[in-house]
Amino acid sequence: KAGVTQTPRYLIKTRGQQVTLSCSPISGHRSVSWYQQTPGQGLQFLFEYFSETQRNKGNFPGRFSGRQFSNSRSEMNVSTLELGDSALYLCASSPVDSYEQYFGPGTRLTVT
Amino acid sequence: KQEVTQIPAALSVPEGENLVLNCSFTDSAIYNLQWFRQDPGKGLTSLLLIQSSQREQTSGRLNASLDKSSGRSTLYIAASQPGDSATYLCAVASGSARQLTFGSGTQLTVLP
């Protein structure tokens, strides 16, 4: 089975812009979670989607949003980018019958 | 609020040594605990998942234990190899089964 894929892998944006990141889960997985990784804060949970519904949300401002499509692919959007949003954004998928999470390679976002 | 601590932050050992990585968490009401490894600039690779009802899990040279009552988990790596060099992350699911709180990791270097 193909693993979790994330696009794009690298992105450079300017403060104030918005960005959309994409995640394709492992085939058959219906849960997709997003995490932000920074040197200062480490890995932090953003949100989880299951069957197109957001089930959980971490402690991030409303500028961070996401959605999931009927084929389980997910996107996350960050509006009005700030320098502090520079990070590695990781997506993880999980099957229905297990809580094990499988991570993608991440999208490296740099905000200048 | 769940907090996860990993000690030590960095560890350097000669090849062939057995070693133990430690993880502690503050809230014992957990769904599961996962150990991951992360190679530089890469995503996370799942190593072991321990359900809250389990005491340990084994995979090859890896053995992870869980003591919920004391809020501790250990990852035992037998006969370490240079290819084991990576950052090892402990993550606890407590708010929900797929919402992980991560420790800051142990950076392991195995010297040939």
pLDDT higher than threshold 80 for residue A46: yes
Tell if the CB–CB gap between B42 and A105 is shorter than 8 Å.
yes
Q: In chain B, pLDDT over 90 holds for what percent of residues?
A: 90
**Which pLDDT score, from 0 to 100, does residue A9 have?**
96
DSSP result, B24-72: EES----SEEEEEEE-TTS-EEEEEEEETT-SEEEETTEEEEEETTTTE
pLDDT higher than threshold 90 for residue B83: yes
Contacts with A99 from chain B: Cβ below 8 Å: 31-32, 49, 51, 93, 97-98
Residues B67-83: what's their mean pLDDT?
96
pLDDT higher than threshold 90 for residue B42: no
Q: Identify whether the C-beta of residue B9 lies closer than 8 Å to the C-beta of residue B1.
A: no
Closest-CA distance, A76 to chain B, in angstroms, reads 17
Q: For A67-93, what is each residue's pLDDT tens digit? A: 999 999 999 999 999 999 999 999 999
Nearest by CB to A55, from B45, B91, B96: name it.
Answer: B96
**Which pLDDT score, from 0 to 100, does residue A97 have?**
85
Contacts with A43 from chain B: Cβ below 8 Å: 89, 91, 100, 102
pLDDT higher than threshold 90 for residue B81: yes
Average pLDDT over all residues of chain B: 95
HSE of A39, CA atoms in CB hemisphere, 13 A:
3
**Which pLDDT score, from 0 to 100, does residue B98 have?**
86
Residue entry with tokens 């690298």:
A10
Q: For B4-23, what is each residue's pLDDT tens digit? A: 999 999 999 999 999 999 99
